[in-house]
């Protein structure tokens, strides 16, 4: 419920948290697709898309941790690409977690993103792997600083955000077409 009462950047806004069938469910007004898993499955991510997703989710985790909360289950299913060209965290706080656990899970997810784009962009993949390593050793704040300084990786321009938004919309539309 603590997450439901907060409005944190990069964390899906919650309308309510309910218990049903022995599980907690978060009710959100944001579309729930496409997830990072959907984007990776559709094989549509470029190096900059991957870097933007890493940066957005890293910043969201920092905000969550500063609020004294944890995500607890970060993976490719718990990240949503929005139609505004940002990546946000879903399911924040549904399970018990820790800062260390969140950082480890985020680093694993970023390493998976790196593997996904490796053929397309070996340099971008290397940057993401390095960012994940910095997070594992030094924490998220130094990792975000490192990623921001890595000019060959992240283009946070309006055009890049529009490109990610268009990709998210295409994948969301294809998912709704297929059921």
**Global pTM exceeds 0.75:** yes
Picking from 22-31, 38-47, 56-65, 154-163, which range would have the lowest pLDDT averaged per residue?
Answer: 22-31
pLDDT in tens, 40-91: 999 999 999 999 999 999 999 998 898 888 887 889 998 999 888 999 988 7
pLDDT in tens, 121-139: 999 999 999 999 999 999 9
User: Residue 99: phi, psi to the nearest 5?
Assistant: -60, -45
Q: How far apart are CA 179 and CA 169, in angstroms?
A: 15
pLDDT in tens, 74-83: 899 989 998 8
pLDDT number for residue 16: 61
Strands (E), the chain: 14-20, 23-28, 79-81, 87-89
Q: How far apart are CA 34 and CA 50, in angstroms?
A: 14
What is the band of 33 on the pLDDT scale with cuts at 50, 70, 90? confident
The answer to whether 26 and 36 have CB atoms below 8 angstroms apart is: no
Q: Is the pLDDT of residue 159 over 80?
A: yes
């Amino acid at each position: 419920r603590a997450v439901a009462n907060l409005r944190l950047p990069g964390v899906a806004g919650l309308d309510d948290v309910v218990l049903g069938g022995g599980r907690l469910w978060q009710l959100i007004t944001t579309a729930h697709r496409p997830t990072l898993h959907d984007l990776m499955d559709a094989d549509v991510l470029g190096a900059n898309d991957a870097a933007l997703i890493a940066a957005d989710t890293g910043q969201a985790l920092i905000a969550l941790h500063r609020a004294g909360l944890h995500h607890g289950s970060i993976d490719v299913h718990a990240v949503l690409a929005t139609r505004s060209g940002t990546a946000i965290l879903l399911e924040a706080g549904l399970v018990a977690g820790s800062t260390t656990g969140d950082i480890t899970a985020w680093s694993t997810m970023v390493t998976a993103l790196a593997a996904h784009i490796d053929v397309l962009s070996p340099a971008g993949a290397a940057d993401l792997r390095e960012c994940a390593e910095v997070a594992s050793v030094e924490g998220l704040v130094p990792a975000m600083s490192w990623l921001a300084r890595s000019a060959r990786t992240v283009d946070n321009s309006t055009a890049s955000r529009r490109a990610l938004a268009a990709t998210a919309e295409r994948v969301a539309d294809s998912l709704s077409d297929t059921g």
